[in-house]
A and B are shown apart, each in its own frame.
Chain A
Amino acid sequence: MNTLHDFMMLTKGSEYLMAVMAMALFIIFWLALDRKAKDGK
């Protein structure tokens, strides 16, 4: 946990972490968006 804290302080890691998280979430989001709903009209 200390390494994580240091990473945030020194390299503004929080923004990079957020960007990576956003990328991952977006991929999941897009796959879910693209998949046809089972009971779609």
Chain B
Amino acid sequence: MKIERRKFLKLATASACLGSASIAKSQESFPGWPNRYGMLMDTTLCIGANCRKCEEACKKVNNLPPHDTPLSDNTVFDQQRRTDPENYTVVNRFPNPEDPEKPIYVKRQCMHCNEPACASACLVKAFTKTPEGAVIYNKDICIGCRYCMIACPFNIPAYDYFNPLTPQVRKCTLCYDRITDGKIPACAEICPNEAITFGKRNDLIPLAYEKIRKHPGRYSSHIYGENEVGGTSWLYLAGTDFEKIGFPAHLGTAPYPSFTREFLSSVPLVLTIWPVMLIGFYKFSQHRQKVEKDSRDSEIGGNE
């Protein structure tokens, strides 16, 4: 009997502590889904020319039309491309300031931000940040207002402008169907040089720092996406400044939803104060009119 009571007391105390700990935790801000995935791209490993297998694999798993020209056609690199409804990811080429013989290739796609601007912007909640980290789109409620495209700091979402009846917003899905099925995203799987690593974001960041530490001459000491706009699922390593290889440079670390928070917070205040204030104006103006009318009536009365 004694042992059972001791066990009970231990259990009760432990659960009380846990309970209060969880209450305390719920008062903190949400630090993000802890087991969310990420993608680490090492641009120094991307061979780019005569490859773009990632683009092809992405098109295949998303049922997108294949490339117009063969993958060996490197003239596509002559211009910077952006994502569009048939290309959820693009590889662009940039001159390497350190070595003109070895241009830098960068794969761009949706960054799957921790606090996505698109999800914040969407008036019908068509975008969801999933616990797996992917930011996914619901084509069944999207009304096509394209505010998500305005909001995205990376200019990723693309629209089916030439589809009159069923236009959608198009972007990388982080292969959500595959990763919830135990597989890895198609681009990471197909990359012949293993330039893309898929894993838990919380594991990829120390991995990236480890790479930087091990090869200090090879990488700049910045992991793009670690803190930009509150952190993104896609993380990048490069051998030069990210501004030089097409990444928006002055995004800051504030997550985009924070930009509208102040305004949205003022709405309930207006809804509460305005009615009272306006009724006050009304009552005051009624009172003033009554006073005027009374004084006019009394004047008339006095003149009789």
Q: Is A in direct contact with B (CB under 8 Å) within the complex?
A: no
Residues of A within 8 A of B (CB): none
